[in-house]
Chains A and B, each alone.
Chain A
Amino acid sequence: MSSPDQQATSQKRKTLYNSKTKSSSLSWHLSNIYRLTVKELRSIRSDPVMLILVLYAFSIAVYTVATGASTEATNLAVGFVDEDHSDLSRRIADGLTPPLFKPAVEIAAPAIDAEMDAGRLVFVIEIPPKFEADVLAGRQPTVQVNVDATAITQAGNGAIYLQTIIANEVSAFRTGRGGTSDIPVNVEIREKFNPNTKSSWFTSVMQVINNVTILTVILTGAALIREREQGTVEHLLVMPVVPAEIMLAKILANGLVILTAAGLSLLLVVEWWLHVPIAGSILLFLSGSSIYVFTVAALGILLGTIATSMGQFGLLAIPVLLVMQLLSGSTTPMESMPVWLRYAMQIISPTPHYVAFAQGVLYRGADLSIVWPQLVAMAVIGAGYFAFALHRFRQVIFGA
């Protein structure tokens, strides 16, 4: 520094910097993260399309999925071949009542194959001739129930319901006509956590969980790609800002939005609108969710560094998200998967742990002493994702 003019400039420059904070101190980093998080939140606010998508996914979509398609047996389409035309056969037909059954369709025996082939009927009951007379005479006639076993969610349970209804109607008929029935033991079957086996209880909460996964990945990944496409990320990196700060800010801001939406969705849509009782602590659920959101947000950033444009990101995210969701236990139980696949998914994906955690807390009222292993698993996988995402981020931006 020799020229007085320049010394002055440099002096001015020095006073502009806050001399108390060194650029490596923790408060410096925290301050950067805070500023960038506020910036992210402003960005999210100014994107009405994304906000509407989040709002829709956590409200109407949860409601529609919960009340729409169900895996519980309802509205079963039953055909009825009545070759007896007796009181008893009519009683059986009348016993098939909604909501479990649609009104039975009476068909002729030769039509059975065509109706079932076309999928118009899933069940066909065949009542043989002289059925009532045989019952009264104690000759134990046989009723045949044809089941379309490709209707996988209905076939098994529906067949049992039909058996029970037929048996009950016949017993009642016989009792009315002086027959006797003597059951030595009463077996009372009670369902815990969901006494009426309503599938909406399950699907609504699982829909919230799936939304958390999908929207967190999409929001954070898209936020990164947008910055890359607009060149703003480079602008940040010529400033005294490090990549980890940018990543953490994105994770925090998007995570906060998703957590708030998920919490409100549970309280307002699931509990209040759909009347699903929540057994455990919502606070515990949200704390666990924040670990999960951190993990999947890191995944979103990772995908955002692999794809080079929004279009590519979409193509990449869809298969990843579908696989994560399908193989997480939120659609069908993990126990039904091959053992090797179950372990593989539990190692590479945080979602099975999150689903187990959420089911434990929300349905069974599990507390921290029960669910801590899942929390630890999510945190470990999340740390792995974050480290890899940071590595990719530096690689892509700095081309190193």
Chain B
Amino acid sequence: MIEKTIAELQHVTHRYGTTIALADVNLEIPARRMAGIIGPDGVGKSTLLALVSGVRRIQDGHVTVFEGDMENRAFRTANCGRIAYMPQGLGRNLYPTLSVFENIDFFGRLFGQPSADRRGRIDELLRATDLDPFEDRPAGKLSGGMKQKLSLCCALMHDPDLLVLDEPTTGVDPLSRRQFWDLINSIRKRRPQMSVIVATAYMDEAARFDWLAAMDDGKVIAQGAPKEILQRTNAATLEDAFIALLPEEKRAQHKKVAMRPRPASADATPAIEAEGLTRRFGDFVAVDHVSFRIARGEIFGFLGSNGCGKTTTMKMLTGLLPATEGSAKLFGEPIDSDDMEMRRHVGYMSQGFSLYSELTVRQNLDLHAHLYHLPENEIAGRIDELLRNYDLKHVADARPDSLPLGVKQRLQLAVAVLHRPAILILDEPTSGVDPIARDAFWSTLIDLSRDDGVTIFLSTHFMNEAERCDRISLMNAGKVLAVGTPAEIVERRGVKSLEEAFISYLVEATGADRSRKTEQPTDGASLPTANLAHAPGRFSPGRLWAYARRETIELLRDPIRLSFAVIGPLILMMAFGYGISFDVENLKYAAFDQDQTQESRTLVDSFAGSRYFSEQPPIGTTSEMEQRFRSGELQLVVEIPSGFGRDLENSRTPEIAVWIDGAMPFRGETARSYVSGISAQYVKQLAVERYGPNAVLSPVNVETRFRYNQSFESVNAILPSVIMLVLILIPAIMSAVAVVREKETGSIANFRSTPTSKFEFLFGKQLPYVAVSMASFVLLALLAIVLFHVSVKGSFATLALGTLLYVFATTGFGQLVSTFTRTQVAAVFATSILSIIPAVNFSGLLTPVSSLSGGARFIGLTFPPAWYQPISVGTFTKALELSDLWFNLVILACFALVYLMAAQIFLKKQED
């Protein structure tokens, strides 16, 4: 069966809150073609691709892929294995700590390929992409171009019939870009049945596709072959065609950028001068002996891929980063990061939006005006001027995050020029901005340079922008490859365009021209067909294992998370073991003896014998008593009134007062019971003295037996409860973060776009944390036994089994929380608050569950810790066995199951 269209959209509308991403889109994307979706950032390209590949839920309208309804879950499950989806962002779906091989291998495992097949196929793919020398390098340490090639390998691992690529080459150097497209083309030759849908912001790239759809503001404004579109609009380039296709009111704002020659400057001192500038981060050389001179008023462009050292060089020029070697001068003065005067001459615009999104446009300008210390009386005027010149008046009181990218960039530029600096340093100022806004931006830059003599140093990865610079410098891997006017550079290499010149420099710099190889597919050497073992939609232990294995590797390579998981519990146990003690000893007491007789002294001495009390110098006056209580020096005072001895002699039942510091209630209460004991003893002694040895004061003996903890030390009871607390807090946080991290970094796209089921994903990610938690349980038990001398009196096997069920429940609880939280920090705090409060207060740590009532008891019993605490305390102190505790084990198992099921219900396979 050969489909004519690979994907069809009918009346598709998609909203994020009130923002409309797609507005009633109708589109038929042809099959077996290279189809491009073009347009600037924020027009709905990514949303469209996500809907087609099934990773986003359809809100409104119909999406048909492979002639099946993408709204139908059964159809999606059966067919998502035929689609490969590569999300936007360099290496967004890769795992940075995993090596190149491990990344691809993970995808192979997800598609159930047997080990030998995987190895063979990975070798093929790595050779085809020139990644074979870097098999063991962590994905996070690859250059942007290599990351994208690796992403592509991962996507091609299972021979998809539809390849969906979301801006795969944005920010990649031109050589890698060319290699990337060559690779796709050669694969399409070998597997002609494969359709490709690509979103891109590079118009030159799009010109080479078979079919295009141009988008603006959530609408498709044109579709067809590139040639047709050019003919229809009568334009020479696709960029011009795109502008011509825009609605009338937008086109009206467009002015062609007029280049003007730079007036000659008589001052020979360069505005910016770098000499052998070098910056190392550890072993990594980010900028390698870079030298250039920029004249006053010149527009100087830095051209290079992401990660080639452009940003680092710029940061050194602003004084943000000190140089490891070499020197940089502004107006002949060496850069000193402590020189405040120099900073006033520089305006800086960093990559990405870096103003305060919580302040309004006007507040942002106002803050910067004050921080640059413009004179008070000029601030209002200057801000008005900027709002007018940069067309920001109508959004002056809006927050930047609600504004389109182009407007944000205008605001950033307005902030950068606010203090009329002599030098502007702009780091990729137009990346992602639509062509009209970009041209307007350039007109402003040219005015600044030509009219105000401002020196502009900017970086870009767009060739057509580089052509507008007075001079450019080509950069790769921290090194400058060439400096000169764009025309000079093209001429020097004897090529037709700047892009070709750059590529030829890159080929020279990186050694052999390996890109050639991929252009000639050898006959018959086609990639072996992927061998897919698992039927999609059915449970696969292999996929579950793939997730468990990958999670374990990632955890072992993340020092912060690993130490939190292993050392965290031990630190908490020590803090609790030493910190939470209800043993009250050495209460400081003093006598306020107003009687000073033999009898009163006997009374005071009766306290001295006890280990619970330690005597302090006696008190003379009432105010002294107050003072010493206030300062916290005394916790107990025995006040004996004058006449005590006499009254006692005459059997007039004198009264004495014992004052206790009740500021800390538990200590006060304990002190009170100690005093009761001592005074009873004293009274008995008096009675014996008076009535003879047979005096009977109490008609009954009360014999108190302290069970389970004969020495009555806090630590015996506290430690088992602490294990309960630690083993919910840390495992729950860890497992919650494990899921939310994927949401934050974007690798959750792999779960959404592959046949992985929710159970395989969640349970696979849970297993490593259960294992780590069991390991820390063993460490905690050892610590309790060795350091605190608290031993397990009952069945250790029962304790271990109970703990296993408990950590299944607590990690499951963490996963449940992760389904509701979007950021790691929210996951960490939500999990800790939700688990600490019931675990500390309602699970028997401080107050026995038997003493709880009403809501507190209910909360306690609906949470696993209250059921685990009796197991932990029981096996440690009460010598209990499985027969005593089986019911608690059953309940814990139920908790584990319920959390696992609930997390599966709330985890969304598709994004909203």
Q: How far is the CA of A336 from the CA of B585 in the complex (A)?
A: 7
Give the residues in chain B near A234, CB-CB below 8 Å: 315, 320, 350, 354
Interface residues on B, range: 35 or more
Asked if residues B568 and A202 are in contact (CB atoms below 8 Å), the reply is no
A43-B419 Cα distance, complex, nearest whole Å: 24
Known: A189-B675, A202-B663, A312-B560. A149 touches B712 (CB 8 A): yes
Q: Is B580 an interface residue (CB 8 A)?
A: yes
Residues of A within 8 A of B676 (CB): 160, 164, 187, 189
Whether a CB of chain A sits under 8 angstroms from the CB of B61 is no
CB of B527 within 8 A of chain A? no
A72: chain B residues at CB < 8 Å are 665-666, 669
Q: Is B703 at the interface (CB under 8 A from chain A)?
A: yes
Q: In the complex, what's the smallest C-beta–C-beta distance from B712 to chain A, in angstroms?
A: 5
- A170 located at the interface, meaning its Cβ lies under 8 Å from any Cβ of chain B in the complex: yes
Assess whether A39 is interfacial by the CB under 8 Å rule.
yes
Q: Let me know if B707 and A398 touch, CB within 8 A.
A: no
B893 within 8 A of A: no
Q: How far is the CB of A376 from chain B (nearest CB, A)?
A: 15
Q: Is A287 an interface residue (CB 8 A)?
A: no
Bound-complex Cα distance A187 to B673 (A) = 12
* A144→B367 CA distance, assembly (Å): 75
User: Is A185 within 8 A of B683, CB to CB?
Assistant: yes
* B677-712 residues at the A interface, CB under 8 angstroms: 677, 679, 682-683, 686-687, 690, 696-710, 712
How far is A186 from B683 in the complex, measured between Cα atoms in Å? 9
Check A315 against B733 for contact (C-beta < 8 Å): yes
Contact assessment for A6 and B453 in the assembled complex, using a CB-CB cutoff below 8 Å? yes
B residues 328-343 near A (Cβ < 8 Å) are 337-338, 340-341, 343
Per-position binary interface string of chain A over residues 327-367, scored 1 when its CB falls under 8 Å from any chain B CB and 0 otherwise? 10001110111100100000000000000100110011110
Looking at the complex, which one of B266, B707, B709 makes contact with A3 (CB distance below 8 Å)?
B266
CA distance A115 to B783 in the complex (A): 30
Partner of B568, one of A71, A122, A145, A319: A319
A90 at the interface (CB under 8 A from B): no
B581 in complex: contacting residue of A17, A337, A364, CB < 8 Å: A337
CB distance from B845 to the nearest CB of A (A): 9
Report if A230-B666 is in contact (Cβ < 8 Å); known contacts: A140-B701, A171-B699, A240-B373: no
Given contacts A102-B851, A135-B700, A232-B356, A337 and B658 within 8 Å (CB-CB): no
- Given A144-B705, A240-B340, A315-B828, residue A191 in contact with residue B672 (CB < 8 A): yes
Contact residues in B for A52 (Cβ distance below 8 Å): none
Task: Evaluate contact between A311 and B658: CB separation under 8 angstroms.
Answer: no
Q: Let me know if A184 is at the binding interface, CB within 8 A.
A: yes
Determine if A109 is an interface residue (Cβ-Cβ < 8 Å).
no
At the interface with chain A, which of B141-149, B213-221, B571-579? B571-579
Would you give the shortest CB distance from B266 to chain A, in whole angstroms? Answer: 5
In the complex, how many angstroms separate the beta carbon of B653 from the nearest chain A beta carbon? 6
Instruction: Give the residues in chain B near A176, CB-CB below 8 Å.
Output: none
Q: Once bound together, how far apart are the Cα atoms of A65 and B667, in whole Å?
A: 19
Closest chain B residue, CB of each to CB of A202: B665
Stretch from B114-122, B192-200, B872-880 forming part of the interface with A: B872-880
B460-468, B475-483, B542-550, B713-721 - the one binding chain A: B713-721
Q: In the bound complex, do residue A65 and residue B841 qualify as a contact, i.e. CB atoms below 8 Å apart?
A: yes
A238 touches B348 (CB 8 A): yes
A153 and B422 form a contact (CB under 8 A): no
Q: Is B74 an interface residue (CB 8 A)?
A: no
A232 (CB) vs chain B CBs: closest residue? B354
Chain A contacts with B in 129-172, Cβ cutoff 8 A: 135, 138, 140-157, 159-164, 166-167, 170-171
Other-chain residue from B631, B666, B733, B870 in contact with A360 (beta carbon distance below 8 A): B631
CA distance A231 to B428 in the complex (A): 14
Which chain A residues lie closer than 8 Å to B318 at the CB level? 238
- Given A17-B344, A69-B840, A149-B717, verify A198-B665 contact (CB < 8 Å): yes
When C-beta atoms are compared, the residue in chain B nearest to A345 turns out to be B579
Contact B702 A18 (CB under 8 A): no
- Find residues 545-561 in chain B having any chain A CB closer than 8 Å to their own CB: 560-561
B648 in contact with A184 (CB, 8 Å): yes
Q: In the complex, are the beta carbons of A237 and B320 less than 8 A apart?
A: yes
Q: Mark B732-769, 1 if CB is under 8 A from A, else 0.
A: 01000100110010000000000000000000000000
Q: Which residues of A sit under 8 angstroms from B884, Cβ to Cβ?
A: 114, 117-118
**Quick one: which of B346, B358, B658, B877 contacts A188, CB cutoff 8 A?**
B658
A338 to B577 Cα, complex, angstroms: 11
**Complexed CA–CA distance, A13 and B422 (Å):** 9
A18 CA to B370 CA, complexed, in Å: 11
CB neighbours of B568 from chain A (8 A) = 315, 318-319
Residue numbers in A under 8 Å from B862 (CB-CB): none
Mask, A1-18, CB within 8 Å of B = 1, is 111011001101100111
Residues facing B in A213-252 (CB within 8 A) are: 218, 222, 230-232, 234-242
Q: Which residue from B341, B584, B658 sits with its C-beta under 8 Å from A187? A: B658
CA distance A24 to B338 in the complex (A): 10
Contacts of A195 in B (CB 8 A): 662
Q: A31, A74, A163, A186: which contacts B656 (Cβ < 8 A)?
A: A186
Find the B residue at minimum CB distance from A101.
B851
Residue on B nearest A181 in the bound complex, by CB:
B697
- Per the bound structure, the CA–CA distance linking A122 and B874 in Å amounts to 13
Q: Is A85 an interface residue (CB 8 A)?
A: no
Q: Decide: A156 and B673 in contact? CB cutoff 8 A.
A: yes
Is B500 an interface position by the 8 A CB rule? no
Docked complex Cα distance between A314 and B740 (Å):
13
| B705: chain A residues within 8 A (beta carbon) | 144-147
Q: From the candidates A16, A145, A310, A315, name the one contacting B703 in the complex (CB within 8 A).
A: A145
Q: At the interface, yes or no: B629 with Cβ under 8 Å from chain A?
A: yes
- Kindly list chain B residues whose C-beta atoms are within 8 Å of the C-beta of A65: 841
**Quick one: given A17-B344, A71-B666, are A6 and B296 in contact (CB under 8 Å)?**
yes
In the complex the two chains form, is B669's CB within 8 Å of A39's CB?
A: no
Task: Select A319's contact among B378, B571, B707, B849, beta carbons within 8 Å.
Answer: B571
What 0/1 pattern do residues 371 to 389 of B give for CB contact below 8 A with A?
A: 1111110100000000000
A386 in contact (CB, < 8 A): no
A157 CA / B851 CA spacing, docked (Å):
14
Most buried by A among B651, B656, B677: B656
Is A370 touching B631 in the complex (CB atoms < 8 A)?
Answer: yes
Q: Across the two chains, which residue of chain A brings its CB closest to B319?
A: A238
B322 touches A398 (CB 8 A): yes
Cα–Cα, bound, A312→B700 (Å): 62
Chain B proximity mask over A33-56: 1 for CB below 8 Å, otherwise 0: 001100100110011000000000
Interface status of B186 (Cβ within 8 A of chain A): no
Q: Does A290 reach chain B (CB closer than 8 Å)?
A: no
6 residue pairs of the A-B complex, CB under 8 angstroms, read: A42-B358, A46-B359, A140-B699, A157-B670, A188-B657, A335-B586
What 4 pairs across the A-B complex have the smallest Cβ distances? Answer: A311-B824, A314-B828, A191-B662, A194-B662
Give 9 new A-B contacts, CB below 8 A, not counting A69-B840, A119-B874.
A17-B375, A43-B356, A117-B880, A119-B870, A157-B669, A230-B353, A234-B354, A235-B355, A366-B632
Using CB atoms and an 8 Å cutoff, list the residues of chain A in contact with chain B: 1-3, 5-6, 9-10, 12-13, 16-18, 21, 23-24, 28, 31-32, 35-36, 39, 42-43, 46-47, 65, 68-77, 102, 114, 116-122, 135, 138, 140-157, 159-164, 166-167, 170-171, 174, 179, 181-195, 197-199, 201-202, 218, 222, 230-232, 234-242, 307, 309-316, 318-319, 322-323, 326-327, 331-333, 335-338, 341, 356, 359-360, 363-366, 370, 397-400
